Structures are given as C-alpha cells and as structure tokens.
Amino acid sequence: MKKAENFNQDIHVVDYRLQYEENRATAETLMSIEGREIELLNGPFHFSPDPYETCLRAKWFKEKKISDNGLPLPIDSDFEGWPTINVPSCWNTECKDLYYYESTALYFKTFKYKEHNPGERVFLHFEGSSYRTYVFLNGKVIGMHDGASTPFSFEITDTLIPDENRLIIAVDASRSKDRVPMDNTDWFNYGGIYRDIMLVRTPATYIQNFFSQLQPHTTNEVFASVTMDKKINGKAIYRITELGIEKEIPIKEGKGSIVFKADLQLWSPENPKLYTVEISTEDDALCENIGFRDIQVDGINILLNGNPIFLKGISVHEDHITLGKSTNEQVIRDTIADLKEMHGNFIRLAHYPHTRLFSKIADEIGVLLWEEIPVYWAINFVNEATYTDAENQLAELIMRDRNRASVVIWSVGNENPDTDARLSFMSSLAKKTRELDPTRLVSAACLVNTTKLKLEDRLMEHLDIIGNNEYYGWYEPNFEDLLTILNNTDLTKPVIITEFGGGARAGNHGTKDTMWTEEFQEALYIKQFDTLDKAKYVRGMTPWIFYDFRAVRRLNRYQEGFNRKGLIDSDRKTKKLAFYVTQKYYKTKG
C-alpha cells in the first residue's frame, strides 16, 4: 500500500510563506478583460477561517481526496465539510462572528470546466481580494498577489482538468506596518474575495491590453497603443465603426501605437458620449466603450475640453452597511444619483481603488472621478518592498481604468507627513503615474503647514493639482486660521480641497454650537464655503464625506464604530442638513 504523505513535516518551518511567493501576480501579468468571454466563478465557496495558516504550513493544497480509512486528507482539513460563503462578499458582514476577523481564511470550490480548444489559454482572474491572496488549483501552487483593491490574473491553462477542478484560495486580511495601507487607517479593514472571480479565455497569442484616449492637449487627435502578451511582429486593427474609422497599428516586438485625427463628439458630464472601440489582431479581439475628452491645467485653472471647470465634488468610501466593501451596480447608480441631486459633477473615490464598475458607470452617466491608491498617512516610506507594492497597486489601477473618460485625476496618496523618505517615495509614484498615463492629472491630498499657516508641502512641486485636507471648525477649532492660510498661500497651480467636514449623528438636533448635531455640521459647511470662495486658486472640493462609514477607531457615543462626517447617514437614505447646504452651494457655483 502507498505510504500516506506526512502533512505535518513542515510544521516547524518559520518562513513557510516564502515558498508561495515565487509566482507573484503584478501589473506586468495583468490582462485586459474588456470585451472578453468570461466565466464567473462567483457563488458559494466552502469557507473556513484559518488564523494559524495551517493550510499554508501543512500544504493542505496537496490534498489527497480520501485517506485509507475514508477521511479527507490532510487530516486537519475538510474542504467539502465546511459551510459555504457567497463570493463576492466580505466575511465581516456575511458571518456575524467574523466581524472583527483580520487574519487568513480559506475558500474552496470545485468547478467543471468546458475544455479549451487546442492553443486556447485560460486565466483565473480576480477583481479584488484582501490583502494577500494565495491560489492553489488541483494540488498545485498557482501564485499569490498583494494589494486589496486591484485586479490580478494567473494563467492556469496547463493545470485545468476536463472534469472536476479543485480550487483553494487563502486570503490574508491582516494589517501590517509594511503594507499599503499600513495598520492604521480610518476605515474598516474588510476581508475576503469581495469582487468578481472568473475564468478568462484567450487565444495562444493575445492582446494583453490597449490604451486609447485623446493626445494630451488636443480635442481631435486620438492615440491608440497595444501590448501583446509576446514579443511578436504583426499588426492590429483599430475600429470605431460609428465614425467609419479603421486604422492599422503596426506591432513590433509585441508593441505598437498610432496617432490619428478624428472628428469626435467630446465626452463631458453634460454629454457623456461613448464610442464602441474595437481592437483586433489575427487571433484576438477586444472591445470597449470609450469616451474622449481632454483634461489639463492652465495656471490655477482646470480645463475640461479647453473650458475652465469647477469640480463640485464629494469624497466617497467603498463601504456599505450590509455589503461592506463589496458593492453592486445599484449602489453605484444610487451614489451617482445622490451626487446629481446635490448638483455635483465630481467624486473622489477615497482612499484606494474602488471597483472597476464605478468608473464604467461614471463614464456612462457623466461624472468626473479622482482615483487613489492607499498610500495613506505614515506608511513605511523607507521600505523598498512597501514601495514596490505601492507602485504595483498604482500600475494595476492605471492599467484597469486608463480608458475611462470619467477618470481625470490619479492620486498618489493622502495626508502623508512631509519627510525626505516620503518625498522620494511619492515623487517616484508621481513620475511613474506620468509614464503609465500622460493624459491625466496627478495629485495627492496634502496637509496644511500648521506652523506657518500655509498650504506648503515639498510634494506639491511634483503634482499637477494640489489636493488639500483641512479640518478648520472641527479638529482645528480656530476657524479664522483658514482665511489666514488661504491669504498666506500664493500658488500657481489649482487646489482641490480634498477634505473638510465635521461629524453629525443623523437625527441629532441642537444648536449650531453643539458638536455632533446636524446644525453644527451645517454651520461648519456654510463657513467653509464662504471662506474657500475667497481663494481663487481653489478650483474644486470634495468634502468629507458622502455617507457615514465604518471606522473601528471611532468610539464615542455618537460614532459607535462609524465615522459620522457623512452628509448622508450610513443607511444611504437619511440626508443631513449639510447635504442641502452643499446642494444649494453647488447649484449656484459656476
């Protein structure tokens, strides 16, 4: 009889994780899924928390289905015996006893698979899972990924089998000082596979991604660039049938690009015109709805299609009372409807990449977006691995959304202390952003220099637009200082006030001098609008925040685990008085 494998032999290995880090999914291996045939693997997965990571230590993925005495092997696992959880979802909102669980959990599923044609390739693609994901299929290690909010893919062509495939996923949602974000944030650390998971098929040689927007500073010159998965020579065809456009893109060593003139209707919030763009090679084809618009700065002005625009915005977290960080089309449409009701035109998607669906719907309905990576507060700016992680998350986000007209600003971080290490870290991110996408503006939410009472930060020099968070009237009680700051500041670039605000418990009423009442928050907004109007370089604002959101560090009697600075309660229905003040202000703001 064959001797049973000893699954406990590695139990004393300290660096047991290292063996799984060889195949790391990154922006380099990410593929465009737009217009591809996909098979969703969403739905029930067997699920168990595994806080000791015994799955990784004892290599449970090497499972033998049944031992000699009829029990599953390895002896401590029982994939099929575990209850199920629905994917996508956050375990914190799905399982009552896992509300604060921030460690590793296992997902298991079997799936049948329609055999691929000879030459066809198959990828396992994730839209987002927190924070580190380890993937095992049919007894083999497939790979891992770091980053909680960006997509990633692995090729699994040679590991798939015709009938039952066994997929094990270990998701580690722990916080750590070296991650991006680090262990201290003002939002809830949701865990799980909270976005779609799918199989994607491609031909043997496929288009890894393509990028098409207007050439910067033009309104009638389109560029298109294509990257193939291999360094082949050949050509791609670029088509916008509605305009009768058909262009050939010569491909050399796997890459090609063209620029051509086109008579287009420009995309804008008022006219969110999208064109169906097809890109095809001999074997492969992708298709996306793309809008074309120009965004640039001119002195202190932000110009959309050449015209000055004031960004009437709001900040939004990806946080929902029942869904957690998972979301769906209806939630996004409702968010945009609330913005339009407030006469806004701009959303800051804070503080990490939100689902891809957001920018797609924003493209379609007509909203401008700020997208951000979680370089938040004092992450470990001196650690090289932290930088690599941050840059990779940035690249994955840009690769995913760079064809979205709604996205006009990439933000490389939020409220980071002005140290040398941070300057070098974040200026490198700004540089990388421009390399990956020269068509958009680069920003970051900076802090006020409270000693000099001035908007001053060495990173500003590296940004196109300066984001600034200030909490005058809330954390900073001397409201008058705000005007001093604006007067002391002489800038030649536009500023977006990326945060201001104050907490109010919906339904808590009182005088405008009583903190946590709706009246206090309303009065604070009125003072902020009056004051900010005095600085001509303020060209937009995204007050903090649209909806109350979970924040574990918020523990007073009005907060109860929520940040209550929302203009709308966490039920996403009950509007506070400050919502209507903002609505009135935006209605009249040019």
Q: Which residues bind ligand GCB (CB under 6 A)?
A: 186, 351, 414-415, 469, 499, 544, 563, 565
Query: SS3 of 482, please?
Result: helix
Q: Closest approach of Cβ 347 to ligand GCB, in Å?
A: 15
Is residue 227 a contact partner of residue 254, using CB atoms and an 8 Å limit? yes
Considering the complex, state which of residue 7 and residue 474 has its C-beta at the smaller distance from ligand GCB.
474
Q: Closest approach of Cβ 316 to ligand GCB, in Å?
A: 12
Q: Closest approach of Cβ 491 to ligand GCB, in Å?
A: 20
Ranked by CB distance to ligand GCB, the top (closest) residue is 186
Considering the complex, state which of residue 73 and residue 551 has its C-beta at the smaller distance from ligand GCB.
551
Alpha carbon 442 to its chain's center: 16
Is residue 148 a contact partner of residue 184, using CB atoms and an 8 Å limit? no
DSSP letter, residue 19: G
Q: Closest approach of Cβ 432 to ligand GCB, in Å?
A: 22
Q: Closest approach of Cβ 469 to ligand GCB, in Å?
A: 5
Phi/psi at 321 (5° precision): -55, -40
Residue type present at position 353:
P
Considering the complex, state which of residue 391 and residue 499 has its C-beta at the smaller distance from ligand GCB.
499
Residue type present at position 254:
G
Considering the complex, state which of residue 457 and residue 499 has its C-beta at the smaller distance from ligand GCB.
499
Residue type present at position 587:
K
164-172 and 207-214 strand pairing: unpaired
Q: How far apart (Å, rounded) are the C-alpha atoms in residues 160 and 348?
A: 41
Other Cβ atoms less than 10 A from the Cβ of 432: the count is 18
Q: Closest approach of Cβ 315 to ligand GCB, in Å?
A: 8
Phi/psi at 145 (5° precision): -150, 145
Residue type present at position 306:
G
What is the distance in angstroms between the CA of the first residue and the CA of the last residue of the chain? 82
140-146 and 132-137 strand pairing: antiparallel
Q: Closest approach of Cβ 320 to ligand GCB, in Å?
A: 17
Other Cβ atoms less than 10 A from the Cβ of 39: the count is 12
Considering the complex, state which of residue 371 and residue 499 has its C-beta at the smaller distance from ligand GCB.
499
Q: Closest approach of Cβ 524 to ligand GCB, in Å?
A: 13
Considering the complex, state which of residue 159 and residue 563 has its C-beta at the smaller distance from ligand GCB.
563
- DSSP for 208-245, please give it: EEEEEEEPTT-SSEEEEEEEESS---EEEEEEEGGGTE
What's the alpha-carbon Rg for the chain, to the nearest Å?
25
Considering the complex, state which of residue 45 and residue 520 has its C-beta at the smaller distance from ligand GCB.
520
Considering the complex, state which of residue 111 and residue 479 has its C-beta at the smaller distance from ligand GCB.
479
Considering the complex, state which of residue 26 and residue 469 has its C-beta at the smaller distance from ligand GCB.
469
DSSP letter, residue 159: T
Other Cβ atoms less than 10 A from the Cβ of 90: the count is 26
Q: Closest approach of Cβ 523 to ligand GCB, in Å?
A: 18
